[in-house]
């Protein structure tokens, strides 16, 4: 790790808020989407954007290399996909049917929280005089 990274967080520089959004998006994709459908293509495009684009957001932490960024975030996405498939198989058998949309609820909540964090960080930026 880089010495200039924030030592207080293990995920310093990796965008922990968008990492949660990516996990719940992959969880919802694995739970509900058929691979070769329009909604599947749109969610896959969104997941790819959430995977890569937060790397280019301004941050007070030093950025890791793009390779380590993609390695961590793609592993989180794959874990989310696997948990989503397992979740869809267990709803109705192990879990009650009323918990079917919990991943989407968590996705919406984490996306709102992430937007708040990103807008707050952008509003804090001041122009150099």
Stretch 88-99: mean pLDDT = 89
pLDDT score of 3 more than 60: no
Identify the pLDDT of residue 102. 92
Stretch 95-113: mean pLDDT = 92
55 confidence band (pLDDT: 50, 70, 90): confident
Q: Output 68-75 pairs: Cβ under 8 A, ≥24 positions apart.
A: 69/14, 72/11, 72/14, 72/19, 73/14, 73/19, 73/22
Tell me the CA distances in angstroms from 64 to 8, 13, 61, 80, 121, one per residue in order.
16, 6, 9, 22, 19
125 confidence band (pLDDT: 50, 70, 90): low
């Amino acid at each position: 790790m880089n010495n200039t990274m924030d030592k207080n967080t293990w995920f310093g520089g990796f965008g922990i808020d968008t990492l949660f959004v990516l996990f719940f998006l992959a969880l919802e994709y694995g739970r509900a989407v058929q691979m070769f459908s329009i909604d599947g293509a749109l969610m896959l495009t969104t997941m790819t954007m959430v995977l890569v684009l937060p790397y280019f957001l301004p941050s007070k932490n030093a950025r890791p290399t793009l390779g380590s960024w993609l390695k961590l975030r793609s592993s989180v996405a794959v874990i989310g996909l696997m948990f989503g498939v397992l979740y869809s198989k267990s709803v109705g058998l192990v879990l009650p049917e009323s918990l079917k949309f919990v991943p989407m609820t968590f996705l919406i909540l984490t996306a709102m929280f992430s937007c708040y964090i990103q807008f707050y960080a952008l509003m804090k930026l001041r122009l150099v005089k």
